[in-house]
Amino acid sequence: MNRTNGRSTTDFYFVVEKVQAKLSNWKAKLLCPAGRVILVQSVTSAIPTYYMQNVALPIRVCSNLDKLNRDFLWGSTNERKKMHMVGWDKVCRPKDLGGLGLYFTKARNLTLPAKLNWRVMEDPDFLWAKTLIAKYCPNGIMDERLGTRRSGSSNWKGLKKCHEVFRKGLRWVVNNSYGISFWHDLWVGDSPLCSLVHGPLSFWEDSLRVCDVVEGVSMWNLSTLSLDIPTCTREAIKAISVCSNRPLVDKRVWDTVGGEFKLGKAYSIACWFKLNTDGSSLGNPGLAGGGGVIRNHVGDWVGGFSRVIGVTTSVQAELRALKDGLNLAIDLGILHLEIEMDSLVAVEFVNSITTPNAFLSTIVTDCRSLMERFEICSLKHIFREANGCADLLAKAGCDQTSNFISFPNAPAYVLEALAFDVSNATRFRLISS
């Protein structure tokens, strides 16, 4: 029995029943497709939203709600099934990206309680906020140890479950510059500056604060850095006005134009990410490499890697690439991950409940263990033609001199394949008769 916040799936099934009751009063066959979309947006999505304000619903309940919306949108009933002509992931894209602007229920559920985190940070003097802070986080809502506490009310657990979405949407406004990590906090550009660095930072660099590179009144001294950063980033830093004598302390704001919390931004953070991995072996066994790419729900590059594996079999190479991809996704703080591989054997090994042979048991167990660290994670097989980016990265791994290369931005040799995937163009697969 699935349980969330100490409650079972059946405790929340009344939400599904309410949506079912509402849908049963409508005749989908009498409505045009546009009318069904409007009803899903304005009615069936609104019913669970009320209950998702401060509680994280079980995954099974969210999946059932999505299924009800999908079936109604395409006119399916229990008596008569209809083909869903477009994938739900495409339907749930924003309208400006070719979708219908509908929501994934689970991602929406992570968005709404994230707003409570924002309100606790912005309005800590409210009675309800004081109660939560005093009982669960006396050091504040941004305490690094927040996630270590397991006990608590259902409201607190719902707030904590969505804390990572809230944290990822924040950035710093520089005032006196004393409270901001130069490399690890988001204060300039679109990502922390450490994403521009390949390899580990020295102890001095790792502990560097923004105030350490400020001299006088708004004078930046970047010459103290031992690492080079792009010219455009340097110019963006120089444009920031800083005064160490200013009484204002540095402030966390939501990463939007006005600095206020926006549900749309939180939803885009909460949406799933996709990991494609591949292993390339020049012989079986032979010299092997692995590679993978992580993209967000609109197809943008989030991260990638290529690795030299050594001499091994093709299945070992596929599993090693999967393990590297899972570790990269964990490092990026991803909560929801959809994994695609073109090795059916590797997919069946990981998804099976049985133990594979002795030569593969260790790495398969590692992959299963890593997958359990995500809130939502699925692994499925795709054809090689749909795995172009990962295939190029894996082949590059066979030839590179470095053991492991992480790519915060897409390397030039995969840009064409990446653009092809985003365009939703069709690849043809030849099948022998």
pLDDT in tens, 152-175: 788 888 888 888 889 888 999 998
pLDDT, tens digit, for every residue of 375-401? Answer: 678 888 888 888 889 999 999 999 888
pLDDT of 430 higher than 60: no
- Whole-number Å distance between alpha carbons of 259 and 241: 18
Among 316, 370, 321, residue whose Cα is nearest residue 345: 316
The DSSP H or E segment spanning 220 is: strand 219-220
The dihedral built from the CA positions of residue 168, 169, 174 and 175, taken in this order, carries a sign that is negative
Bigger pLDDT: 353 vs 83: 83
pTM of the model: 0.66
pLDDT band at 317 (very low <50, low <70, confident <90, very high): very high
pLDDT of 86 higher than 90: no
Q: What is the pLDDT of residue 308?
A: 94
Start and end residues for every CATH 3.30.420.10 domain found in the chain: 272-422
Bigger pLDDT: 341 vs 429: 341
Find out whether 333 and 164 touch, Cβ atoms under 8 Å.
yes
What is the DSSP-derived secondary structure letter of residue 193? Answer: G
Neighbours of 73 (CB within 10 A): 22
pLDDT, tens digit, for every residue of 239-275? Answer: 888 765 667 888 999 988 889 999 888 887 887 789 9
Residue/partner pairs of 201-205 with CB below 8 Å, 24 or more apart? 201/227, 202/226
The neighbouring-strand residues paired with 290 are 279, 307
- Whole-number Å distance between alpha carbons of 141 and 383: 45
Contacts of residue 334, defined as CB under 8 A and 6 or more positions apart, other chains included, come to 273, 294, 302, 374
pLDDT band at 429 (very low <50, low <70, confident <90, very high): low
Between 3.40.50.12280, 3.30.420.10, 2.30.42.10, 3.40.50.300, what CATH number should domain 272-422 receive?
Answer: 3.30.420.10
Among 243, 313, 321, residue whose Cα is nearest residue 283: 313
User: Where does residue 84 rank: exposed (0-12), middle (13-18), buried (19+ CB within 10 A)?
Assistant: middle
- Whole-number Å distance between alpha carbons of 81 and 123: 49
DSSP result, 31-93: S-HHHHHHHIIIIITHHHHHHTSS----HHHHHHHHHHHHHHHHT--SSS-----S-HHHHTS
The dihedral built from the CA positions of residue 260, 266, 268 and 269, taken in this order, carries a sign that is positive
Highest mean pLDDT among 129-133, 183-187, 323-327, 411-415: 323-327
Is 7 strand, coil or helix? strand
pLDDT of 210 higher than 50: yes
The neighbouring-strand residues paired with 280 are 289
Bigger pLDDT: 371 vs 30: 371
Among 173, 354, 347, residue whose Cα is nearest residue 275: 347
pLDDT of 2 higher than 50: no
Bigger pLDDT: 395 vs 358: 395
CA distances from 288 to 140, 314, 347, 383 (A): 48, 7, 19, 20
Q: What is the pLDDT of residue 271?
A: 78
The neighbouring-strand residues paired with 251 are 173
Find out whether 287 and 310 touch, Cβ atoms under 8 Å.
yes
> What percentage of the chain exceeds 90 in pLDDT?
29
Q: What is the pLDDT of residue 277?
A: 97
- Whole-number Å distance between alpha carbons of 265 and 263: 5
Q: What is the pLDDT of residue 1?
A: 38
Task: Give the pair of three-digit tokens for residue 170.
Answer: 């924040």
Q: What is the mean pLDDT of residues 130-157?
A: 81
